[in-house]
Structures are given as structure tokens and as C-alpha cells.
Amino acid sequence: MSLQPIRILGIDPGLRNTGWGIVDSLGSRLSFVACGTVRSDGTLSLGDRLRQLHDGLTSIVHAHMPHEAAVEETFVNRDPQSALKLGQARGIALLVPSLAGLPVAEYAANLVKKTVTGAGHAEKAQVAMMIKVLLPRSDASSPDAADALAVAICHAQHRASRKLAASLKERA
């Protein structure tokens, strides 16, 4: 009996640029599958921009057929208007995999950075460098795609403990 890898979609939400990254996880082994950025047109209405993100992420889910998804939590922005727009983009990032029937996990940005680099306040350049080390075949051409791969790696590392905690919670 051979084990099958778990395909994980990582999403770094943003209204302008939403990064996505897909890895296969088999035990402690990670393999790069694909990554990229879904962009929205800043000249369009908010509703149309959110539709662009929805349609882009939906096509990625259909093309790569992940088993699970993980989304980076947003940090509190000083500008309430920007925070609200980012929250709406994040809602799309949570909704699309959920509509596809995927379990969706959420991770704080500091945990993602700590998991990938060892430091919770790492710079984007450090994250991108570690992505190249952990996934040598990756071709993240934007910081958003690299961050999304980092979210997928974080989920791969923490999914077993999340499942254990959930099963213990069910028993209690």
C-alpha cells in the first residue's frame, strides 16, 4: 500500500494581488507543484475586482485539484478602509476553497514566517530565500506567490497537530 501525497493550496490574500501556491506533502517531504498571482484591475468597481479574484482562484482550484487549503490571516491595518477591502479579499480566499469542499485552515503571518524561516518577524526577502531552499524547483516570480507557498508549507508542517487537536476536542 503506497501513500498518496496531500495537495495543499496556500493563499496570501490581497485585493490588488492574491498570491497562490501549491505543494504536495508526503510525510515530511514537500514538492513544488505551481504558484502565481491572481490580479484584480484597480480601475474596476470593488464588486468586479472581488469577482476577478473569485474567478481566478476558482480556476486554480479546478486546474490543480488540491485536497486542503490554507489562508494567511490578515494583520490589523492602520487604515480602516484598506483593512476592510483586504478583509473582503480574504473572504473570497476563504470562500473559494470552501465552495469546492476543501477544508480550509488559517494561519497568522508570524506563524507562517516562523515555520518557514525560524523567525516570526522575517522580511519578505528572507521568506522568498527560504522558499527557494525548501522548494528548489519553485518559480515564485512575486512576493505574493512566495508568501502563498510559505502558507502552504506552514499548513503542511502543522496539519497533523491541528487534526489531533480537533479529534481531542471532539472527544471532550
H/E stretch holding 128: helix 124-134
- The answer to whether the beta carbons of residues 22 and 64 sit under 8 Å apart is yes
Mark whether 12 is an active-site residue. yes
Catalytic-labelled residue, pool 48, 144, 147, 170: 144
- The answer to whether the beta carbons of residues 104 and 98 sit under 8 Å apart is yes
Give 4's DSSP letter: P
Please identify which residue in the block is written with the cell numbers 518557514.
116
| CA–CA dist 97, 24 (Å, integer) | 16
H/E stretch holding 42: none
* Closest C-alpha to 61, from 25, 7, 6: 7
Q: How many helices (H) and strands (E) does the chain have?
A: 5, 5
Catalytic-labelled residue, pool 24, 68, 72, 147: 72
Mark whether 24 is an active-site residue. no
Catalytic-labelled residue, pool 12, 24, 68, 147: 12
The residues annotated as belonging to the active site are 12, 72, 144
